[in-house]
């Protein structure tokens, strides 16, 4: 059987089967072509939406190699080659893609997210412990209080109120990360200013840096140079103010990431420079808020379209929590809630492409690739690879709970990346997402506004378009 799947330009084209019984929900994904279009068409598609460039074969493949002008583009799409690229060959493949570095360097400087070699190793050793899983219990009360404030705000809106669930989740996670980094009070005071600076910055950057893709020299000035200066200055001014007022806050005995950064010492006993502290605070803010926000927005969308999953989630919340607000201890018992988050991250990984630039010649899957090659792990593809997942396009949280369900190993499910550069905030992000969903879904049902067409769009992160109009409905006790 064949199905009609929408083409990015709105025309229709015949794709491969996505047949599934009516009880199964297949959420939207962009057109998948059968024959690779010319490279200019691909670049045009990529500029609009990076998810539209993949053909049916790309999802099934193990190791693919495409030549884009002078550069080799290597796509690792099975656990064995992902392991080889990101774990075994980490030394050679630890450098982020030129596109990623150019897009983020004006804001993040030499921050952990885009640095490599010695700088990265030094910073990772200092920053990772500050947000490590073992610290999440201490951050959980900030998360819970902030989510509870959102619940109270929603309660005031009344039954049927219309919200933009994407903006609401972005606001919630920005407040949480801001209060975590800067402390409760400073975080509250400055969250809006920092968020505006980041949004303004993001409007100016574009992950598809064509210069770099064509292999033009690193020193060539990038077009966006001047336009991002203003938002960067705005963010840095706020960070400076916060750092300057840290001592006063510290006296109130408050824990914060910025405090951890200010007090950190390297192996030689030296503190981080002011620049380094600003860069790492910006990294954690950037890495830690939009990713979780997009996950939550997608989860609301998926739950709104799949009554069975919604009911199971609500049943779990009603049984485990029996009406009380969850604590950190409850997270371990919210197994279905966690499975909803995991399945959301499988279908719509917030970072859909993980790209590295080879720092020297390297070998993957027995093939040799030259220095400068772009090596990618694409969670968007691998999480829907039919060789790894049964019914890969179907939304089914149960697959993460059923011991008999087909699941690939840890190199086949990589929403947080894998290897030494794995997300430093994995436990933080998972806990935050589970608590947010639990507290808000306990009290509200969210319905998609009628007539809304939701399509995944990937720029720097994967989102359900620019907004997600939904209506709020308080749940009866
Ligand atoms: C659902 C939520 C999240 C997802 C899906 C996610 C995903 C990722 C991914 C895929 C990377 C690697 C990117 C790459 O290789 O290009 C990454 C890196 C990172 N993430 Fe997260 N993240 C999440 C939440 C967070 C949070 C809450 C924090 C901080 C509290 C955080 C901090 C970081 C940092 C510092 C890095 C850089 C690690 C390094 O390069 O050594 N993330 N994240």
Q: What is the mean pLDDT of residues 264-292?
A: 92
| Beta carbon of 376 within 6 Å of any ligand 1 atom | no
Question: Ligand 1 center to residue 349 CA distance, Å?
Answer: 12
Provide CB contacts within 8 A for 354, sequence distance 6+. Answer: 86, 376, 377, 378, 379, 414, 417
- 142: in domain: yes
CATH code of residue 425: 1.10.630.10
Which of 259, 266, 261 has the alpha carbon at shortest distance from 125?
Answer: 266
User: Mean pLDDT across the stretch 228-250?
Assistant: 84
Whether residue 300 is contained in a domain is answered as yes
Question: What percentage of the chain carries pLDDT values higher than 90?
Answer: 66
Mutational pocket test of ligand 1: of 287, 299, 338, 458, the residue with most ligand atoms within 8 Å of the beta carbon: 287
Q: Return the percentage of the chain with pLDDT > 70, whole number.
A: 89
Query: Ligand 1: does its nearest atom lie under 6 Å from the Cβ of 417?
Result: yes
Distance (Å) from CA 470 to ligand 1 centroid: 28
- Residue 19 is predicted with a pLDDT of 55
User: Shortest CA distance to 280 belongs to which of 133, 142, 182?
Assistant: 182
- Name which residue leads in pLDDT, 231 or 27: 27
Binding site, annotated residues: 423
Looking at the domain assignment, is residue 344 inside a domain? Answer: yes
Residue 2: predicted pLDDT:
30
Annotated binding site for heme: 423
| Most confident option among 290-304, 397-411, 452-466 | 290-304
Structure token pair of residue 225: 């140079």
- In sequence order, the β-bridge partners of residue 474 are 444
User: Higher model confidence: residue 360 or residue 218?
Assistant: 360
7 — pLDDT class (breaks 50, 70, 90): very low
How many whole angstroms separate alpha carbon 160 and alpha carbon 298?
A: 20
Q: Which of 5-9, 30-34, 242-246 has the lowest mean pLDDT?
A: 5-9
Question: Is residue 392 domain-resident?
Answer: no
| Whole-number pLDDT of residue 119 | 95
Range of the domain at 300: 94-351+415-474
Q: What are the two backbone dihedrals, phi and then psi, of residue 98, each rounded to the nearest 5 degrees?
A: -55, -35
More confident residue, 371 or 205: 371
Band of pLDDT at residue 206, cut at 50, 70 and 90: low
pLDDT at 216: 53
Residue nearest atom 36 of ligand 1, based on CA coordinates: 423
Per residue in 329-360, is it b (16+ CB within 10 Å) or e — as a string?
A: ebbeebebbbbbbbbbbbbbbbbbbbbbbbbe
Is residue 114 over pLDDT 70?
Answer: yes
**Residue 83 domain-assigned (yes or no):** no
What's the first-to-final CA gap in the chain, in angstroms?
45
pLDDT exceeds 70 at position 20: no
Across all residues in the chain, what is the average pLDDT? 88
CA of 384 to the centre of ligand 1 (A): 21
Name the residue with the closest Cα to ligand 1, atom 31: 425
Q: Count the domains in the chain.
A: 1
In terms of Cα–Cα distance, which of 331, 348, 344 is closest to 133? 331
Would the pTM count as exceeding 0.95?
no
Cα separations in angstroms, 77 against 337, 353, 393, 420: 28, 11, 16, 19
Dihedrals phi, psi of 137, to nearest 5 degrees: -55, -40
Position 403 scores a pLDDT of: 85
In a domain, 7, yes or no: no
Neighbouring C-beta atoms of residue 402, cutoff 10 Å: 12
Is the CB–ligand 1 distance for residue 421 below 6 Å?
A: yes
Structural domain includes residue 221: yes
Q: Would residue 11 count as lying in a domain?
A: no
62 confidence band (pLDDT: 50, 70, 90): very high
**pLDDT tier at 213, thresholds 50, 70, 90:** low
**Which residues, at least 6 apart from 145, have a Cβ–Cβ distance to it below 8 Å?**
none
Cβ 425 under 6 angstroms from ligand 1: yes
C-alpha gyration radius of the chain: 22
């Amino acid at each position: 059987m064949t199905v009609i799947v929408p083409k990015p330009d709105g025309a229709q084209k015949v794709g491969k089967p996505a047949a599934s019984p009516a009880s199964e929900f297949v959420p939207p994904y962009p057109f998948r072509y059968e024959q690779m279009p010319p490279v200019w068409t691909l670049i045009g598609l990529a500029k609009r939406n990076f998810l539209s460039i993949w053909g049916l074969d790309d999802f099934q493949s193990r190791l693919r190699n495409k030549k884009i002008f002078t550069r080799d583009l290597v796509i690792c799409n099975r656990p064995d080659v992902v392991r080889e690229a990101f774990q075994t060959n980490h030394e050679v493949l630890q450098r982020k893609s030129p596109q990623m570095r150019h897009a983020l360097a004006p804001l993040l400087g030499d921050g952990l997210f885009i640095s490599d070699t010695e700088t990265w190793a030094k910073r990772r050793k200092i920053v990772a412990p500050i947000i490590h899983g073992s610290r999440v219990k201490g951050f959980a009360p900030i998360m819970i209080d902030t989510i509870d404030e959102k619940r109270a705000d929603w309660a005031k809106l009344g039954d049927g109120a219309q919200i933009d669930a994407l903006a609401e989740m972005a606001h919630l996670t920005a407040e949480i990360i801001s209060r975590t980094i800067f402390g409760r009070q400073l975080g509250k005071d400055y969250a809006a200013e920092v968020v505006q600076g980041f949004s303004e910055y993001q409007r100016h950057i574009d992950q598809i840096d064509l210069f770099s893709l064509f292999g033009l020299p690193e020193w060539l000035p990038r077009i966006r140079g001047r336009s991002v200066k203003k938002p960067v200055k705005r963010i840095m001014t706020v960070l400076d103010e916060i750092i300057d007022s840290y001592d006063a806050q510290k006296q109130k005995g408050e824990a914060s990431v910025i405090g951890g950064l200010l007090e950190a010492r390297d192996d030689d006993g030296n503190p981080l420079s002011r620049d380094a502290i600003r860069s790492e605070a910006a990294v954690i803010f950037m890495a830690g808020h939009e990713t979780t926000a997009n996950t939550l927005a997608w989860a609301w969308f998926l739950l709104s379209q799949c009554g069975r999953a919604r009911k199971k989630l609500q049943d779990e919340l009603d049984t485990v929590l029996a009406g009380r607000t969850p604590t950190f201890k409850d997270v371990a018992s919210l197994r279905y809630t966690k499975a909803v988050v995991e399945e959301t991250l499988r279908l719509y990984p917030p970072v859909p492409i993980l790209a590295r630039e080879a720092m020297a010649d390297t070998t993957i899957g027995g093939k040799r690739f030259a220095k400068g090659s772009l090596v990618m792990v694409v969670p968007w593809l691998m999480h829907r690879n039919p060789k790894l997942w049964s019914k890969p396009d179907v939304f089914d949280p149960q697959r993460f709970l059923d011991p008999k369900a087909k699941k690939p190993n840890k190199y086949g499910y990589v929403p947080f990346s894998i290897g030494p550069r794995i997300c430093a905030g994995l436990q933080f992000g998972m806990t935050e997402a589970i608590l947010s969903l639990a507290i808000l879904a306990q009290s509200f049902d969210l319905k998609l506004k009628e007539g809304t067409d939701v399509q995944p769009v990937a720029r720097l992160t994967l989102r359900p378009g620019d907004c997600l109009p939904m209506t709020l409905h308080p749940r009866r006790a």
